[in-house]
Amino acid sequence: MLHGWDNFFIMAGTAAATLIGLLFVAVTVGTGLSTSKIVHGTRSFLTPTLVRFGGVLFLSLAVLAPWPSARPIGIILSLGALAGLAYQIKVVVMRRKVGFVLLDWHDWIPYVGVPALGSGSLIVGAVGLLAERSFAPYAIAGATALLLFSGIYGAWDLTLWMIKNRDKT
């Protein structure tokens, strides 16, 4: 059912892997940030961004594997999407605990709304894959794009935040 989507998932997986590498470069540049407050702030943005990129990489690799049927990949993607939603709830709780990382209302869209929509789209796509529906590849591709772009936004925001707070150490 995912035949013909190889190039899309190869590109998405390559982008995710490359962006993971660049994220490590950005963190290395910011190693001078050592105060406890700044470390907690960096962690509350870095880990979710890394998880999103890793999720896109895993999703792409799983979809590209030569499965004997759509059932195993549908189950794997369903479980991954449910784990993504659970992790998103944990991220919201973690960010609310870190008192100085208060997001404006418009920041909740890329940090919470887009990843949740991506995980929801992945659930719909995985269920559609199990039910052999024609919309399934589009929902999975949409989820992949949403999670990738959410990670890009998070990495960009993290980089700007580290630059802004570099002088505060």
Local confidence pLDDT in tens for the 169 residues of the chain: 677 889 999 999 999 999 999 888 877 766 665 555 556 666 777 888 999 999 999 999 999 999 899 999 999 999 999 999 999 888 888 777 765 455 677 778 888 899 999 999 999 999 999 999 999 999 999 999 999 999 998 888 877 777 776 666 5
For 36-97, the DSSP string reads HHHHHHHHHHHHHHHHHHHHHHHHHHHHHS--SSHHHHHHHHHHHHHHHHHHHHHHHHHHHH
Q: Helix or strand or coil: residue 2?
A: coil
> Using CA atoms, how far apart are residues 33 and 26, in angstroms rounded to an integer?
12
Q: What's the half-sphere exposure (Cβ side, CA atoms, 13 Å) at 108?
A: 7
Locate the domains of the chain by residue range.
6-168
Cβ atoms within 10 Å, residue 84: 22
pTM of the entire predicted model: 0.86
pLDDT, position 100: 47
pLDDT, position 112: 86
pLDDT, position 102: 56
Helix axes 114-130, 70-97, angle to 10 degrees: 160
Cβ atoms within 10 Å, residue 102: 9
pLDDT, position 16: 93
